[in-house]
Structure 1
């Protein structure tokens, strides 16, 4: 670029000194000066397009990965829920066949949803990759061909090969048309990116009353709240019955006759608040309460396993049948599994994984993405405008040189 600029200044200074008395020579100096200046601007604009294209390509891929991670998160959460529910299904089958059958139906439905989400992510991820790659390659090809034509035009101007210059002008006019087409696409994509990021921001601020809520695969908020309240109520009632049974058990042993507040009575920790919300509160345990998963460990010393004589079990205080112990283990394990996946169920019902990814996009991806698209659109607009003026300048130069003989690298015709 610097060498070409130096050569252009040398030619112009030489031409200006020899054309001070000839008006037609002065016009030639002005035209060639305009051609060289516009060529330099076209090269600069092409370089800006290449840099902006590289940056926007990187930003688009980052934003795409962030958005598609919402589907990947949903798929991963559903698979984790399916694994846990399948385990619960087989554990409860001997004791609660109806519940086991319902869990089986639920896991099959979740599996179907998981496959739909996985197909959606793969299909749309491929389509988005194709669109990003097509835009990236189109900009590179346009700029590369443009640089080749600019170089060829300068060489033909120096060699004064008129037919070749006319062909270059024709090709550059076609290329300029393509530049305007891509400029229009970049402008549309700039507005699309702006509207999309605004929609993401609105969804993060108000997920329930947003235009995206109608197209996202999320439950209705009122239904999801009701569903999670029912699950919380079911678990809360189970713990209430379990603790009541524990109190009756201790009373039957004659440990205490002090009413409900029995010293030393084993209580199961319940991680849910009471009505009406039944909110999940992890770690909501007072001192002395045990997690439900530890219930089999508490009952194990009182269990009379098969193979032990009944008299020996009675003398050692092991009065709990082995079948009862395994039933208690099955219920406690199932409830603990349900508690473990409750946050996933809540996140799935509230579509929190979508909100989290949109929030990440708004905070870390949208602003640089929009800025890179704006720079790409501005660079393509500048290149398109410069190419229009440059092609017109080449037309004027071709008309001036038509039918005249030149020495090589000379801007004035032979006498």
Structure 2
């Protein structure tokens, strides 16, 4: 209507007989279908990106949680080495070896986090950018094709066909990539499911950040056995402390008040059950508070004054007892973390969460993205051939003048 108004005459449109009218509606139908499909693929690609980023955060979170636990254990072992170095260099050497093993596993986990995070980020964002760019250009070209088709500007048909052919090739390339992404997501979820059922024989056993089972199991067993034997021996010899404090052994109530809590069962596995301790038992870390009552500090009092006040424990002995009791209490404080590392609880819980809440959505998203991209590629192929038919059928006609006038206007 605008062209007719500007030209002041009628616009002649060739190739609009009954046969070409069918081609016109086919072009209109497939172009509209391609616009809808492109928009749907864009929305699906964005949804897939969000779900993939969520999956990446969960996978990287496995390593981050494990690193946090290992860092806490390393900090405690370093503190124990500082306390025990003047009294037991052998234990310090063993702790140092354990710390080195933990640091080695920590470096492995850090490489896992960096490699996994960067790989997933690179793949997902490259895929999303490629989809966004190609489909946006495709939408613009489809709208331009509609305008050219309504104006019936035949020289523009060749440009449109050329652009559509390139875009169709890119769509097929993205279809192949989306098929690979769908297969990868399905295989990854299957691997997570296998790991959840049988971690030892899973293909992810060498990839997920778990400390070596033989090392961790032996470490936990030795720690539990050492602490249990130490506390049992300490409670057995508490009569010596009773006599030093002037407490009668017949007074069971007072004896119970200074009984050391043993959170380990006597079984072979030395299960850690802190709730099993009697209410009147004290933590081994509080033993130094009791010993402080009979300790003679040279800086404060002389030996005679200490003897009159009943404080006859040498300060050096108190410092050694404090170092051992504090170290054992530190071990007890991190024992749940050591069990978590030994049993790989953090990894197993995260994998179970991924399998339960994320695998099904990511599988659906990647499959929907691939199928919608495949549909768009097929539509684009049909659209290209329809445009070729339109261009070939109109090639024998003389080029229309955009302002062709009727005989009465001459």
Would the TM-score normalized by the shorter structure come out above 0.5?
yes
Q: Distance in 2 between matches of 1:106 and 1:239?
A: 22
Q: Which residue of 2 aligns with 1:264?
A: 254
Contact 1:142 1:179 in 2 (8 A): yes
Q: After superposition, where does 1:214-233 map in structure 2 within 5 Å?
A: 214-219=206-211, 221=213, 224-233=216-225
Is 1:170 paired with 2:162?
yes
- Aligned counterpart, 2:5: none
State the match for 2:400 in structure 1: 406
Q: Which residue matches 1:392? A: 385
**2:275 matched to 1:283?**
yes
Residue 246 of structure 1 deviates from its aligned partner by 1.5
Counterpart-to-counterpart distance in 2, 1:135 and 1:38: 26
Change (3 A) 1:24 1:314: closer
**Structure-to-structure mapping, 1:33-182, within 5 angstroms:** 33-182=25-174
Alpha-carbon distance between aligned partners in 2 of 1:277 and 1:247, rounded to the nearest angstrom: 29
- Alignment of structure 1 residues 291-310 onto 2, 5 Å: 291-307=283-299, 308-310=301-303
CA shift digits 1:85-122 (9 cap, x unpaired): 11110100111111112222332343343234223322
- State the TM-score, normalizing by the size of structure 1: 0.87
**1:379 is the counterpart of 2:372:** yes
Give the secondary structure class of the aligned counterpart of 2:99: helix
Structure with more relative contact order (C-alpha pairs < 8 Å, separation 6 or more): 2
Offset, 1:30: 0.7
Offset at residue 210 of structure 1 (A): 2.4
2:241 pairs with one of 245, 249, 252:
249
Matched ranges for 1:194-233 at <5 A: 194-219=186-211, 221=213, 224-233=216-225
Distance, in Å, in 2 between the alignment partners of 1:409 and 1:91 is: 98
Change in Cα spacing, 1:117 to 1:223, as seen in structure 2 (3 Å) is closer
C-alpha distance in structure 1 between counterparts of 2:313 and 2:346, whole Å = 45
Instruction: Tell whether the 8 Å contact from 2:52 to 2:124 is kept in structure 1 after alignment.
Output: yes
Q: Provide the secondary structure at the position in 1 that maps to 2:269.
A: coil
Residues 139-159 of structure 1, C-alpha deviation per residue, up to 9 Å, x if partnerless?
001101111221222222233
Matched position secondary structure for 1:283: helix
User: Is residue 355 from structure 1 mapped to residue 348 from structure 2 by the alignment?
Assistant: yes
Alpha-carbon distance in 2 for matches of 1:182, 1:294: 66
Gaps of 5+ in 1: 1-22, 411-415
